[in-house]
Amino acid sequence: MYFIVLYKMTCSFCPQVEYSLVPQDGSGGSSGLEDAFRIDPKSGVITTRSALDREQVEVYTVVVMATDQGLPSAGGQRSSTCTVVVHVIDDNDNYPQFTERTYTVQVPEDVNWNKNPVIAAVK
């Protein structure tokens, strides 16, 4: 499932703003964020760059940085961040799974099928 998130940051004094994703410190230094999304530096449009799997990652927290092109003579570049929380909506893309591939049960041939008809429970 692919998502496109649209948003816009405005700055009346600095028309040239560049957008980037801020790498997040996940476990082991990788959150998979860089593999999952990209941002267009000019438009700020965030797009998926690979298939998302809710069973693997349900929520992404994307931190976007906007940096203006301020000149050193004008105080240098300025930047700010916002957070985009992406919830991956579940799709029914997995088959139900049994805990076992084969169940073996033994039933006496004289089982009282009327009073005790249960022979196995699968799950």
Residues that bind Ca ion (CB under 5 A): 53-55, 90, 93
Q: Least separation, in Å, of the C-beta of 84 and Ca ion?
A: 21
CB nearer Ca ion, residue 35 or residue 90: 90
User: Measuring CA to CA, which residue among 18, 24, 12 is closest to residue 79?
Assistant: 18
CB nearer Ca ion, residue 25 or residue 93: 93
Q: Least separation, in Å, of the C-beta of 91 and Ca ion?
A: 5
Q: Least separation, in Å, of the C-beta of 20 and Ca ion?
A: 29
